[in-house]
Amino acid sequence: MATVDDSQDVLKLKQLSYFLTLADYGSISAAANALNMAQPSLSENIAKLERQLDVKLAIRGSRGIQMTEAGMMLVNRGRDILDAVDHLVQDLRLLNGEPRGPVSIGFPPSLSLLLSVPLLETIQFEHRHVRLHIAEAMSGDILEWLANDRIDVGFVYEISDSMPYMFEPVLTEELFLVAATDNWDDEFGPDGVAKNPISAERLQDLPLVLTSPTHGARKLQEKFARAGGFTLNVVAAIDSLTHIVEMVSRASAYSILSHCAVIKEVAEGKLGLIRIEEPTIRRTAYMVRKRSRPVSNASAIVENTITTIIRELVERYHIQATLPNKD
């Protein structure tokens, strides 16, 4: 049985194109003229193809050529082959052209607040044929959506079994105690950060509103407290960032959040950030893709746009976070 490599040696696309031209024009002279090549060269190519295939393809006569049964089979199937190759080349070139098509993204709430609007505006302005769909959920749900092919790319704070997924760090955030500015005795600087930090152990003395225990952020906060040998004083559990921020703004409780989660309220002077020390709490946001899902040109453009926007926002608004080292 001939292998793929053997078949490629026997039948080359250029030879096939020559033979189909011969079939179209019906004579060596007319086909050679159409191909802008010498008649002997075309005749030799056809003869070489017949030797490689070990079959007679055309019979030359005084009034042109006549196809054999094998020749007609090669003509009929050969056209399909060349058409398929042409379509493949066109499709591949389109992938390198203007990005187009739908791209779906999953963001956790804090990153969604930070990125969704500037991302939508940038893509709408710069890549008008790309259609974005943004969904908001917890990290576990986002990984499930990726597994079920409901989204193209996700952003999470938890790394699971990395075999089905590719993770890329995009942002490492410091978590702060967040308070209404009129509900904290210390003075806040122009960056919204209190002049004096608090020790991690002091968190047990403050009424906190956090997410439920199944939430990734809550798991990190509880793990942090256990490592410090104390228990967090959680007076309310709400799986809604908007409602947590509202409760803190009303001075009903405190919370533990990143700067990204409250960037607007901090800029407006409604909320302030109190740095937690001994030790500091940090978490990393990862961009994640399913390994088995191909990355479209549109998706690649969106991913690059997201990382660019993150960098610009961190620098412009002095967000209390660090970017990964790309060196």
pLDDT per position as a tens digit, 169-208: 999 999 999 999 999 999 999 999 999 999 999 999 999 9
Residue with the two structure tokens 């020390």: 277
Q: Tell me how crowded residue 297 is: count the other CB atoms within 10 A of its CB.
A: 17
CATH 3.40.190.290 in the chain: give the residue spans. Answer: 173-283
CATH 1.10.10.10 in the chain: give the residue spans. Answer: 4-95
Q: What is the predicted pLDDT for the residue at 72?
A: 92
Write the CATH number of the domain with boundaries 101-171+284-322.
3.40.190.10
Q: What is the predicted pLDDT for the residue at 134?
A: 97
Question: What's the CA gap between 57 and 35, in Å, rounded?
Answer: 19
Question: What's the CA gap between 68 and 19, in Å, rounded?
Answer: 13
Question: What's the CA gap between 178 and 162, in Å, rounded?
Answer: 33
CATH 3.40.190.10 in the chain: give the residue spans. Answer: 101-171+284-322
Contact yes or no for 271/265 (Cβ under 8 A): yes
- Residues (pLDDT < 50) of the chain are 1-4
Q: Which two tokens stand for residue 17?
A: 């194109």
CA 107 vs. chain centroid, Å, equals 12
Give the DSSP per-residue string, 171-229.
EEEEEEEEEEGGG-SSPB-TTSBBSS-EEGGGGGGS-EEE--TTSHHHHHHHHHHHHHT
Write the CATH number of the domain with boundaries 4-95.
1.10.10.10
CATH class of the domain whose range is 173-283: alpha beta
Q: What is the predicted pLDDT for the residue at 1?
A: 45
Q: What is the predicted pLDDT for the residue at 260?
A: 94
CA dihedral 300→303→307→308, nearest 10 degrees, is 60
**What is the residue type of 143?**
L
Q: What is the predicted pLDDT for the residue at 9?
A: 61
